[in-house]
């Protein structure tokens, strides 16, 4: 009798565990599908979600065991310079050469889009797909970029020109929300605020978009896969939020992504043959003076497009070395008292070497 009771008890426990596992698995699967649906809807507003899903299937397709076990040789053009600050200094030099406006926050970005300085990038085309762009966008209300900016608002209100620009920027956001990428957004709705932020982050300057399209077309023609693009414009406000999860998100006065001239290509799913081919194309564009580029350790190629297809001269880059060096040190040691930094431009004037 006791054995029968024990058997019934164990059978009941096993059944309970099976039911729990089934419910847990079903809920997890449902949540995963829900998250995927949200991601697709955010990235493919007014577009065919199936096209985005099919593009991502090609991006993530298994390349086989041989591809996973083959080493990749990185060309020198995609490695750091002997002076690791030269890479950032090159981008700073380009920004200062043309006095490129950097967007501070989403309000600022909306105004740039309205003025035509940034253009919307479709979430998926035959040659590329946006993958992870705006993934950290929140549903918060639109504010100015930093606490310091907020503290200066009272001062701005006392200056007619600045006050007018501030009002114009907010007016641009409201106008953009009425019709952006074929739909309207209710700025009082958290979900709509998040959606328009994601779509604003899917923007670039026309000069950078042209370079991105060229690279994507070449890659697609060779491998019949869309190029996965993981980051486009990033306002400084969003850059600071992103830095909490991405240490490569540069925190300096003029981060390259805030210009709309930089974009990232995700290579984590690419075979060695794909990476080798793509890096050769990027190296060629760098040699031609069209871009600055580096292979980052977080599975991205960071690409920065030069406005007129001409690299800044070494003198301008050298002049930007101190700013690049000190800016990075201050970002990394914001809570520490800054140390005296000798002029790198003086020390490296004659010792700088490039790959």
Pair 87, 291: CB distance under 8 Å? no
**What are the tens digits of pLDDT across the range 119-155?**
999 999 999 999 999 999 999 999 886 544 555 445 5
The half-sphere exposure of 208 on its side-chain side, counting CA atoms within 13 A, is 29
% residues pLDDT > 90 (the chain): 60
User: And the tokens for 199?
Assistant: 């779509």
CB 44 within 8 A of CB 52: yes
* pTM of the full structure: 0.78
Domain borders along the chain are 1-31, 65-138+193-347
CB 236 within 8 A of CB 102: yes
Question: What would the pLDDT profile of 252-282 be if each residue is shown by its tens digit?
Answer: 556 899 999 999 999 999 999 999 999 999 9
The pLDDT assigned to 341 comes to 43
Distance CA 322, CA 345 (A): 6
What is the predicted pLDDT for the residue at 39? 46
Are β-strands 128-130 and 227-231 bridged in parallel, bridged antiparallel, or unpaired? parallel
Write out pLDDT tens, residues 166-222: 678 889 999 999 999 889 999 999 999 999 999 999 999 999 999 999 999 999 999
Q: For residue 308, what pLDDT is reported?
A: 94
* Residue 160: pLDDT band with limits 50, 70, 90: low
């Amino acid at each position: 009798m006791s054995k029968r009771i024990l058997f019934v008890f164990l059978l009941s426990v096993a059944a309970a565990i099976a039911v729990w596992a089934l419910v847990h698995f079903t809920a997890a699967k449902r949540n995963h599908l829900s998250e995927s649906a949200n991601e697709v809807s955010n990235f493919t507003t007014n577009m065919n979600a199936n096209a985005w899903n099919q593009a991502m299937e090609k991006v993530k397709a298994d390349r086989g065991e041989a591809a996973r076990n083959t080493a990749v040789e990185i060309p020198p053009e995609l490695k750091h310079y002997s002076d690791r600050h030269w890479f950032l200094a090159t981008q700073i030099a380009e920004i200062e050469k043309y006095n490129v406006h950097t967007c501070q926050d989403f309000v600022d970005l909306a105004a740039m889009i309205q003025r035509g300085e940034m253009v919307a990038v479709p979430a998926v085309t035959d040659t590329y797909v946006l993958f992870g762009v705006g993934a950290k966008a929140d549903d918060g209300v639109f504010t100015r970029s930093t606490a310091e900016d907020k503290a200066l608002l009272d001062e701005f209100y006392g200056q007619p020109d600045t006050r007018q620009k501030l009002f114009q920027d907010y007016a641009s956001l409201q106008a953009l929300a009425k019709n952006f990428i074929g739909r309207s957004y209710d700025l009082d709705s958290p979900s709509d605020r998040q959606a328009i932020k994601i779509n604003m982050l899917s923007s670039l300057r026309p000069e950078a978009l042209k370079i991105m399209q060229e690279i994507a077309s070449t890659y697609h023609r060779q491998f019949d896969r869309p190029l996965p693009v993981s980051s486009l414009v990033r306002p400084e406000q969003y850059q600071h939020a992103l830095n909490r999860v991405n240490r490569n998100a540069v925190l300096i006065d003029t981060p390259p992504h805030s210009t709309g001239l930089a974009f990232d290509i995700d290579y984590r799913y690419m075979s060695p043959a794909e990476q080798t081919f793509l890096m050769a194309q990027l190296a060629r564009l760098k040699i031609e003076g069209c871009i600055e580029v580096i292979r980052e350790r977080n599975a991205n190629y960071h690409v920065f497009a030069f406005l007129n297809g001409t690299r800044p001269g070494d003198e301008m880059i050298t002049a930007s070395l101190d700013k690049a060096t000190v800016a990075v040190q201050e970002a990394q040691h914001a809570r520490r008292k800054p140390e005296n930094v000798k002029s790198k431009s003086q020390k490296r004037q004659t010792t700088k070497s490039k790959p």
